[in-house]
Amino acid sequence: MSAELNSNSCATPAELFPREQDIPANWRPGPLREQREYLVNGFFRIWTGALTEVFSPIPVRREDRLEPRLLGRVPDLDRAAALEALAAARAAYDRGRGDWPTLGIVRRAAVMREFGRRLAACRTEVVLLLMWETAKSRAEAEAEFDRTLRNLDEALEAAQNLVSSGEVAAREGISARCGRAPRGVALCLGPCNHPLNETFATLIPALLMGNTVVLKPPRHGVLLFRPLLALWRDLLPPGVVNVIYGEGDEVLLPLMRSGDVDALAFIGSPHVGQALVKAHPRPLRLKAIMGLGAKNAAVVLPGADLQQAVRECLLGALAFNGQRCTALKILFVHCDEVSRFIDLFLRGLRAVRWGMPWQQGVWLTPLIELHRPAYLRELLADALRNGAQILNPEGGAGGGPWFPPTAVYPVTCAMRLWREEQFGPLVPIVSFENWSEVEDYLDQCDYAQQISLFARDAAQVEPLVDPLVNQVGRVNLNCKCQRGPDHLPFGGRKDSAVETLSAREVLTSLSLPVVVAARDSAESRRLMDSLSASARCGFFPEE
């Protein structure tokens, strides 16, 4: 691979992809990690079959050559091993009679709190692996880790609130205790752009609600799960968390086809999500919770504060290379503003820093997936063929593993970039005259997650809010699209999401409302009170 690169923060490719000796000692990836362990039924199993090599998006530079950097190897499990993990999860659930599902939410919360304490101690190792496996900047890797701990606390708090709302006053002669019961076995699958945070976004609620789990880490961001295996093994009853590795077709489809997965929590592409759901033989018994693709638009209306719009659009489109489902993936700018907007955008773009994850202030780093630069070049070539131009001098330059930030204009509905989710630092800009053009885009788009609206005049925004909230999951006013803060519901429509992914909502999606009821009488009240006081009855949390 050759490294012909342009960079505004690095004078030469040599500076962009450093030689080994130029990597600061505390940010080196460390020795090759060869992992044969996986977690089933409370034990580390040792896989003696084939291993999958895990490469970093950051290649090794030897003189002027770039070579793939091998970080480690993980088990490439087969179907039988995956099914064994599922059987362990089923046995731990034991048709609802297992230790974990009957423990009650209060005691499960105590275990998860301890899990959080032990997880916090893994920060340095996990952050380093996040940086090397996903090329995420140090700041973003640390933020992902810390956010995961915060989400755990939020889930614990939300679970506590669920518990305290259980008692229902007698009505029509019936007194009742309402609560939530687990769904059964959950399959938790996170994405490679937020491998820790978004795997835990469903794993923690699944466990808190008493489900047992099979987890498969994503292809990138897989080694960072190794230090966590021991935490689950040591803290949870056997079989409550089982961690498998391998190719999706080999290990995930058989799990789904078995019909023994009760809840599928998946964050990734709609194509994979759909294939998994379709594989389930009894789809009515499957609860799917999914965060999928998106093609969020920013719309800059006449008279908007362009400085602010540009700042937010740069951040929204390019932070972490645009590899966020919530990234701004197309910018609609009113024709009266477009030339000034582009001018400011290009000025801002020149200040955006590229580099390696450990360098201060970098937004743009190598892309996670090796195939992504070639895909972005395809989209770019298609746009250029159909009349668009690259606006910034370094845009589209180079080959190999690096794709520079590239602004393209004017983008039209004739181009693939109009509808395909680029998931990279390729920024399409559209000039529009009438709002109906934006409406057409929203209507034709396969996705409907969020939108960012830039305007100063309330009279412009007022008529738009109602139609927009009926089309997407979140309308951002004068700011970029994003998931957080995490107490807000995060979902979408069309092919963007199934259910809502915030802590409180996932707790309810991964559980069912259930009721213990009795004819209201002094005797049944005594019985209910004694159940509440009993340590053997987890459903009735001790008051």
What residues line the site for ligand G3H (CB under 6 A)? Answer: 193-194, 291, 324-326, 482-484
Shortest Å distance, C-beta 187 to ligand G3H: 19
Burial of residue 421 (CB within 10 Å: 0-12, 13-18, 19+) is buried
| 198 vs 262, beta carbon nearer ligand G3H | 198
Six-digit token pair at 458? 């309330």
Contact by Cβ (8 Å): 253, 278? no
| 175 vs 323, beta carbon nearer ligand G3H | 323
Contact by Cβ (8 Å): 198, 217? no
| 177 vs 504, beta carbon nearer ligand G3H | 504
Shortest Å distance, C-beta 147 to ligand G3H: 8
| 61 vs 480, beta carbon nearer ligand G3H | 480
Q: CA–CA separation, 220 vs 266, rounded Å? A: 15
Q: Which residue is nearest to ligand G3H (CB)?
A: 325
Q: How far is CA 173 from CA 178, 518, 532, in A?
A: 16, 9, 20
Q: CA–CA separation, 277 vs 269, rounded Å? A: 13
Shortest Å distance, C-beta 482 to ligand G3H: 4
Shortest Å distance, C-beta 324 to ligand G3H: 4
Residue 361 CB neighbour total at 10 angstroms: 11
| 326 vs 422, beta carbon nearer ligand G3H | 326
| 194 vs 219, beta carbon nearer ligand G3H | 194
Residue 113 CB neighbour total at 10 angstroms: 12
How many residues are listed for the chain in this entry?
543
Q: How far is CA 195 from CA 113, 134, 268, 345, in A?
A: 21, 9, 10, 31
Shortest Å distance, C-beta 325 to ligand G3H: 3
Beta bridge partners of 389: 409
Shortest Å distance, C-beta 302 to ligand G3H: 28
Q: What is the 8-class DSSP label of residue 511?
A: E
Shortest Å distance, C-beta 291 to ligand G3H: 6
| 280 vs 483, beta carbon nearer ligand G3H | 483
Six-digit token pair at 303? 């008279």
| 109 vs 475, beta carbon nearer ligand G3H | 475
Residue 437 CB neighbour total at 10 angstroms: 15
| 40 vs 497, beta carbon nearer ligand G3H | 497
Shortest Å distance, C-beta 58 to ligand G3H: 20
Shortest Å distance, C-beta 79 to ligand G3H: 29
| 108 vs 504, beta carbon nearer ligand G3H | 504
Burial of residue 253 (CB within 10 Å: 0-12, 13-18, 19+) is middle
Q: How far is CA 24 from CA 128, 141, 204, 285, in A?
A: 12, 17, 35, 52
Contact by Cβ (8 Å): 480, 452? yes
Contact by Cβ (8 Å): 156, 113? yes
Provide the residue type at 220 as one letter.
H
Shortest Å distance, C-beta 483 to ligand G3H: 4
